[in-house]
């Protein structure tokens, strides 16, 4: 979501980017507030630009994103070199705000949720990129007790289908072959009588689009209709990111996740039964207030049972104005760290084993470009979202190719083209 917003920010400003802040006329720090660490990182990176402003008083310095929304005008009093603060909903106003700062030399805070056209600014599309995100939803209506997203991104707004399709067509015309539809609880999308499963089929009608992905899904809103659409629409990839957060019903209830472990397993089992070679990834929080050793063991049990392809796991981080931040029985930080290490080690083994199991198989890979580590290799992804590197002298970017897998590592597969 933040990457997508950064692309929109680039487009809204419309001037070339530089990697050297010393050469910049405008510096924008786009921020995330989901955990305290990210929040602190944002504030410390703001400090880094103080000396630049001193040597170049015309430099415009702005902070955007969730930290900007969270602290608003407090940021201006904290950092005298900061010119503007702009929340994630207000990106369409960015160009106007920069102009005002440059001409009037005023300091501006824009954290309103009432932006008339919240999706108006499209992301900047980098030439030759064959994959792209497309936002179909902003904000979130869920009430997860740990989560700051509804506070900093506002209530859920579902983007109209015509609007989504016009961005999708624009991307496909630019050569995009794979679109990932994004939203905080993307599968809860509905608009004008249409449900998310209908939207997948509508997007799938775009001729030269090869693949559709979507993230992040909310377990409770995962319908049979959606599973059936994933099964029957060949463009929809066989991968789902479905955060479970905990394997304990007690913890899930305290998190207000509105589903049980049994419900979650039912969705996962239906997906695995209905869709061939289905890959499932997840997010888990450890050390949530009140989480006992028994609860944590339930989480380990769930991870062993589901065998996630990948799983992002986090130590619970209390966030301002969230119900969990004032809950009783906080978990000792060292205990939470130990649980995180155990969980990550278990998942590492599962991921490695799953990747090794691919050895000898032939995978259809959408080629995205050169491999990061070896310029003689190309890199692509399978429908299950596994990264595959393989040697090729040909430029196959945007092509679907068959790759025989020769090796499986923790984060990628290595293969040869057939
Ligand atoms: N909308 C997503 C959802 O339905 O869960 C959440 C997106 S959030 C950017 C990504 C992940 O961060 C969450 O799934 C959760 O595991 C983790 N997370 C959110 N709040 C957290 C907190 N206060 N402490 C630790 N991890 C957190």
Q: How far is the CA of 181 from the centre of ligand 1 (A)?
A: 18
The pairing of strands 26-31 and 60-65 is parallel
List the beta bridge partners of residue 258.
none
Q: What is the pLDDT of residue 16?
A: 87
Q: What is the pLDDT of residue 265?
A: 98
pLDDT-derived band at 121, boundaries 50, 70, 90: confident
Q: What is the pLDDT of residue 118?
A: 80
Q: Whose CA is nearest to atom 14 of ligand 1?
A: 283
- Biggest CA pair distance of the chain: 65
Q: Which of 283, 284, 303, 310 to mutate to test the pocket of ligand 1 (most atoms within 8 A of CB)?
A: 283
Residues 87-107: what's their mean pLDDT?
Answer: 93
Cα 180-183-189 angle, rounded to 5 deg:
100
Q: Is the pLDDT of residue 302 over 90?
A: yes
pTM, 2 dp: 0.95
Q: What is the pLDDT of residue 268?
A: 98
What is the share, in percent, of the chain residues with pLDDT greater than 90? 90
Q: How far apart are CA 51 and CA 259, in angstroms?
A: 50
Written as six digits, the tokens of 380 are 């692509």
Residues 215-234: what's their mean pLDDT?
Answer: 97
Q: Which atom of ligand 1 is nearest to the CA of 318?
A: 23
pLDDT-derived band at 187, boundaries 50, 70, 90: very high
Q: Is the pLDDT of residue 284 over 90?
A: yes
Q: How far is the CA of 34 from the centre of ligand 1 (A)?
A: 7
Residues 378-395: what's their mean pLDDT?
Answer: 97
Q: How far is the CA of 33 from the centre of ligand 1 (A)?
A: 10
Q: Answer whether 197's CB lies under 8 Å from 229's CB.
A: yes
Q: Is the pLDDT of residue 53 over 80?
A: yes
Question: CB under 6 Å to ligand 1: residues?
Answer: 34-35, 140, 146-147, 149, 184-185, 216, 218, 243, 245, 283, 285, 314, 316-317, 319
pLDDT-derived band at 382, boundaries 50, 70, 90: very high
Contacts of 227 (CB under 8 A, 6+ apart): 267, 270, 271, 274, 275
Q: What is the pLDDT of residue 122?
A: 77
Cα-based torsion angle of the residue sequence 317, 323, 328, 333 in order, rounded to the nearest 10 degrees: 0
Mean pLDDT of all residues belonging to the chain: 95
Q: Whose CA is nearest to atom 13 of ligand 1?
A: 283
DSSP string, 114-129: --S-TT-SPPPPPTT-
């Amino acid at each position: 979501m933040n990457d997508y917003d950064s692309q929109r920010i680039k487009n809204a400003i419309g001037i070339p980017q530089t990697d050297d802040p010393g050469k910049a006329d405008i510096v924008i720090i786009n921020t995330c507030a989901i955990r305290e660490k990210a929040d602190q990182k944002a504030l410390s990176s703001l400090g880094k630009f103080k000396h630049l402003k001193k040597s170049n008083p015309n430099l415009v310095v702005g902070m955007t994103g969730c930290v900007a929304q969270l602290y608003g005008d407090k940021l201006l009093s904290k950092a005298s070199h900061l010119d503007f603060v702009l929340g994630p909903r207000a990106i369409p106003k960015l160009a106007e705000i920069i102009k005002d700062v440059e001409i009037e030399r005023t300091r501006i805070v824009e954290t309103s949720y009432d932006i008339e056209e919240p999706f108006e600014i499209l992301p900047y599309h980098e030439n030759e990129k064959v994959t792209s995100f497309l936002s179909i939803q902003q904000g979130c209506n869920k009430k997860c007790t740990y989560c700051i997203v509804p506070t900093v991104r506002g209530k859920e707004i579902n983007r109209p289908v015509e609007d989504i399709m016009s961005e999708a067509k624009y991307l496909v015309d630019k050569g995009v072959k794979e679109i990932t539809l994004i939203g905080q609880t993307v599968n809860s999308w509905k608009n004008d009588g249409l449900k998310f499963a209908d939207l997948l089929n509508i997007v799938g009608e775009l001729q030269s689009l090869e693949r559709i992905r979507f993230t992040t899904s909310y377990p409770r809103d995962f319908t049979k209709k959606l599973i059936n659409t994933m099964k029957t629409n060949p463009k929809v990839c066989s991968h789902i990111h479905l955060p479970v957060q905990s394997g304990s019903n007690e913890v899930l209830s305290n998190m207000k996740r509105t589903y049980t472990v049994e419900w979650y397993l039912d969705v996962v089992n239906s997906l695995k039964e209905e869709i061939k070679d289905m890959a499932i990834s997840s997010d888990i929080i450890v050390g949530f207030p009140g989480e006992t050793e028994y609860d944590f063991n339930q989480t380990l049990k769930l991870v062993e049972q589901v065998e996630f392809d990948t799983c992002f796991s986090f130590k619970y981080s209390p966030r301002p104005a969230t119900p969990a931040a004032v809950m009783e029985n906080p978990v000792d930080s060292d205990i939470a760290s130990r649980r995180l290490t155990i969980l990550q080690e278990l998942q590492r083994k599962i991921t490695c084993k799953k990747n090794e199991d691919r050895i000898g198989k032939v995978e259809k890979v959408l080629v995205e470009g050169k491999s990061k580590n070896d310029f003689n290799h190309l890199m692509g992804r399978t429908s299950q979202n596994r990264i595959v590197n393989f040697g090729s002298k040909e430029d196959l970017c945007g092509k679907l190719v068959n790759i025989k897998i020769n090796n499986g590592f923790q984060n990628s597969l290595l293969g040869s083209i057939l």
